[in-house]
Amino acid sequence: MSRLHRTHHNYILLGVTLVLLLLPITGMQIGLHTTNEVAMPLVEPTLHSMIQENPDTAFSIIVQFESDYDASRISELLGKSNIDGIEIRTIFDIIPMASLYATQQGVESLIQLDGIASISLDRVVTLETQLGDYEPAQVGIESGYVHPNVTLNVGPIWAQGYSGNGITVAIIDSGADSNHPDLQDRIIGFQDFVAGDSDMNPSDGIVAYDDNGHGTACAWLVAGTGEGTGDEYTGLAPEADLLIIKTLDSSGAADDSLIAEGIQFAIDEGVDIISLSVGGQWIDDPSYPDPSIQAARRAIAAGIVVVVAGGNGGPATETITSPGVFEDAITVGSSIGSIDTVPFSSRGPVYRTSTDPNGYFTKPDILAPGYFILSGISAGADPVEYPLYNSTQFTSPYTLWSGTSSSCPQIAALAALLLDKHPGITPIEVKAFLMSGATDLGADPMEQGYGLANVTKSSELIESTSGIITLMAPLRYPTLPGTNQVFVIGDDRPPQNVTVISTVNRGSVVIESSGNASDFISVDDHAYVSVGYSYFSVGLEIPDNLPLSALGQYSGSIDMLEGSEVIASIELDLLITAYGGRLLVDMAHHSTTDPDDVSYYRYFGEYLREQGMVISEYPVNWQVTLDSGFGFSPFDSSSLASTEVLMVMDTENTYSETEISAIRTFVENGGTLLIVSEGFDTVSNVPAFAIESYNAILEPYGIQCEDNWIGNDIGGVFGVDSGGSVETDPLTEEVRNIFVLNGGTLSVDSSIAGAEGLVWTDAEKTHALLATVEAGDGKIIALSDGSILYDTTIYDAINLGADNLLLLKNIAVAIQPTTPRIYDVLFQYGEVGESANFTAFIFGENLEEVEITVYGPNREQIDEPIVESLGYKYFFEFNLETAGFYEVSIIATDLEGNTRTYVKTFLIPVSAVDDELLMGVMYGLLAIVGVALLYVGILKFGVGKKKRPKLEREWTPEWENDETPPSIE
């Protein structure tokens, strides 16, 4: 073992031993103060903590039983036990589970019963933020609106006489307005799990209500007859029957178990399709049983097609909500007509550790229009509180609304059309043919799945293939997270599961990759394919030593072969690029209550990635450091050494004089500062950001943040069309107006050389939204507010005619470094007296000279020749004579004279003590730990421990943490 590895090994052992030494002390303290705690290995940790803190409170819980327990056995077990502190809500017939209210006493009694697999909170989440402004429907008025029946190619199916006749679709949602003229003849039953009402006798008409409006909008998109529009617009399966199951309350929320109750009711009623435009945060936690997912699986096993909204968490990746995360569901994302994926539509992948296999899986499966879709409104819902799907400027009961909630029932309606035309097809066949018939929009598969649904093509495929099909997801690889772009220096991705969906048993099949992209793909050789879902693994591996000549586009395919026949394929599309630079986001100066992390501006990140740039954060593990409470190291020259662009965005904590000096030096030496301020509340006279530090940084450059607030939480458009002005500059190319949600303004002193305001709120050019200045060899780009960059405001901006998206693209191009870029410097060493080396990865167009200087612990200069290879790899080898601090200084210059300087310090630690002595100390400490643990055990479990006092018998059920229950998507 080398000295380096041995020393680190010993330090780790010593650290672990010291931690163990402290554990008995902590244990003694806990033992003395929490002697009433009971070990509950079957209880979810969150629930365990909550009942310990609130022993008399009754929480909504889920009890999962072992698989051989059915409803009668569970009912008998709970009935005979006579447990105090519980109230049974539902014992499920379709899954081994019960929902209850329970206090701490009830939970402690439950865990003593046989057959209990787990006990967890019945999870609830709040309603997601509604998407943008509603737009009232202009029924009968030429407005350029294109209804989904056109986009999804429904017309030919209708023309053949198929419109969902005889197919029952269950809408599990907030109810439906049975008085809506387009729904009166389509609702065949209503079951209310919120207020307990029901009407399952359609002979005299069904009486149903919707106090939120979301369910009515969803139901109309399936089977609205269009009577109120003069038959101009209808649902996509206007002759389908609707079973309305109300599980969401007036706010659009419900316990997860209540959704499972709705699914169970739908199964019992023998429906053909379930539409679930609901979703809640999904946590990959095997201790939580996910009632809605388990129930939906049973529905599919019973032959019911289950369609689920993917969620409105985009454009961030890994934002698919539950129950849309599970494999068998048809998970639906949203498109803008037939053009592209809507930014708000949730993206995959779904990462699972509690399934077999585990890892990354592709979602969503398919798209339907989800941007300003016409639908029906509920007369029983408040249009002020729920304007997105309940407001209209006409007497007609229609509006336009957005979200994957509106996309989901459209796919449910397409499933109804397929079942109508092709009786007897199974849920797996419906899903497979909807996907295979979809139109590829060219987006990442984690955005679009297989693309935009085309029901006529899907129907034709069913006929031409006799229902036999096998396909693989994703449609293309590589996918998100990340893009199809990778760096030449080595850019490996974690393996991803390919999902094989098949309507027939294929048995053992061969997997082959072809094309020049296959050189970088690792894939399983074989897979076993049966009816339903099968999997194999694919990975991306870019070698570390590719030359610059390898830059470029690569293509190919992954093919599945049955004998010599290719039965399914995945397209390979890979772009290898040079390293284009780094944008470093300052997270060290954010308030602990308001850290604006990089997930807020993923569009900007995508544009940077197209230029070969990456985003990093300072410090690297800022959230861990933030949670620890230890604070961050201040900025200095070494903090900025590895970046070309520094982004200071909406930071609240002040900067020291040393940090301000380091930032200015960074700019003067050729760096780019992208500084984004916020607003100043002129009523309370309080800034929303560290305005004094911002102005101290910017003071020499003629730009200052003003005591001003615009937008006022509603947003406003500023620029040419609102009395302002826009200067001609590469940053403002094609930009006329900027949308600001709420923020501030900038003043610009034009007497300072190079200082220029580019977008002004006023004709007098006193208040700027965008300003820039060149300083030394670098430049500064100042934006007046972070909402200009946020993903969540992009579509508001587009709706209002603002050009935020164009501005983002222009900024991404403008901050591309013109100097050489240094990706990283590695320091490799072993024993003192042996060889050590630095390896620098340096990129640049027309590099002319690279100087690498190394200084030892005593500041002695180490001179050795530099070896260049591959066009970007520079190697410096020397003899390691002593431990201590080593500094490497790099100066890279190109033919145009652009220079990049990089300085970094490394520490080679001294072995502080002899190995045998260190091990002796550790063994001694471990002995002390053992004695202390024995003592704690006696205190905690020994004789004399007091019995737990009995809880009061009176208790009141309440929502955990005052949360509202899964959200409408």
User: Which residues are known catalytic residues?
Assistant: 173, 214, 405
Euclidean distance between CA atoms 276 and 305, whole angstroms: 11
* C-beta neighbour count of 592 within 10 angstroms: 10
For residue 816, with 0-12 CB atoms within 10 Å meaning exposed, 13-18 middle and 19 or more buried, which class applies? middle
For residue 771, with 0-12 CB atoms within 10 Å meaning exposed, 13-18 middle and 19 or more buried, which class applies? buried
The alpha carbon of 503 is separated from its chain's Cα centroid by a whole number of angstroms, namely: 31
Looking from the CA of 667 toward its CB, the CA atoms found within 13 Å total 24
Nearest of 598, 750, 775 to residue 673 by alpha carbon = 775
For residue 741, with 0-12 CB atoms within 10 Å meaning exposed, 13-18 middle and 19 or more buried, which class applies? buried
Residues with Cβ within 8 Å of 594's Cβ and at least 6 positions away in sequence, in order, are: 650, 652
Q: Rounded to 5 degrees, what are φ and ψ at 461?
A: -65, -40
Euclidean distance between CA atoms 59 and 750, whole angstroms: 63
Euclidean distance between CA atoms 690 and 947, whole angstroms: 55
Euclidean distance between CA atoms 134 and 401, whole angstroms: 6
* Three-state DSSP class for residue 381: coil
Helices (H), 629-731: 657-668, 691-698
Terminal Cα-to-Cα distance of the chain (whole angstroms)? 56
Nearest of 586, 597, 602, 598 to residue 794 by alpha carbon = 602
Q: Rounded to 5 degrees, what are φ and ψ at 499?
A: -95, 125
Q: What are the angstrom distances between the C-alpha of 755 and each of 690, 733, 737, 775?
A: 22, 18, 21, 9
Whose tokens are 């029906």? That residue is: 376
- β-partners of residue 868 are 874
- β-partners of residue 725 are 760
Take residue 771 and report the two structure tokens written for it: 């300003």
Helices (H), 437-474: 445-448, 455-465
* Three-state DSSP class for residue 172: strand
Take residue 431 and report the two structure tokens written for it: 């899903």
Contact predicate 679/786, CB 8 Å: no
Contact predicate 634/658, CB 8 Å: yes
Q: Rounded to 5 degrees, what are φ and ψ at 554?
A: -130, 145
Euclidean distance between CA atoms 757 and 765, whole angstroms: 8
Contact predicate 894/843, CB 8 Å: no
Contact predicate 125/967, CB 8 Å: yes
DSSP state of 366: E
Take residue 448 and report the two structure tokens written for it: 């679009």
Residues with Cβ within 8 Å of 707's Cβ and at least 6 positions away in sequence, in order, are: 680, 682, 685, 687, 691
Contact predicate 100/44, CB 8 Å: no
Euclidean distance between CA atoms 234 and 376, whole angstroms: 10
Phi-psi category of 107—alpha, beta or left, where left has phi over 0 and alpha has psi -120 to 50? alpha
